[in-house]
Amino acid sequence: PRQPAKTLWYDRPRYVYLEFCVEDSRDVKVVIEDHRLVFSCKNADGVEFYNEIDLYARVNSKDSREKRSDRSITCFMRKWKEKVAWPRITKENIKPAWLSVDFDNWRDWEGDEEVERAMVEQYAEV
């Protein structure tokens, strides 16, 4: 049986970030399309995780990527319209139980572009 992975998200001027919280993930598949993201993987116990998100707005799928760590898989998707805030990550105005705002990373945008650029460069190096 598949189940959704616990997911955190936050918004930045140029990117939207999603973190799928799965420890020791295997068989990770991330498909980022212009209006949709599909995530699947298994954990060390063989539990299958699957999330599908119709996105609030269009992203540039060609300039979006993901990074796997021991504890999670982070996706960063380049917004089609930069500097436009996303009030939510989903197209529909509903909040699935598995989806939460990442308040540790959520902050005001003012002067945030340098921080964001550094984060993206850090992910890109791996």
Structural domains of the chain, with CATH: 5-123 (2.60.40.790)
Adjacency order of strands within the sheet including 15-20: 59-68, 73-79, 15-20, 7-11, 99-101
What are φ and ψ of residue 113, in 5° steps? -65, -35
pLDDT of residue 88: 96
What is the model's pTM?
A: 0.87
pLDDT along the chain (126 residues), means of 10: 95 96 97 98 97 98 96 97 95 95 82 65 62
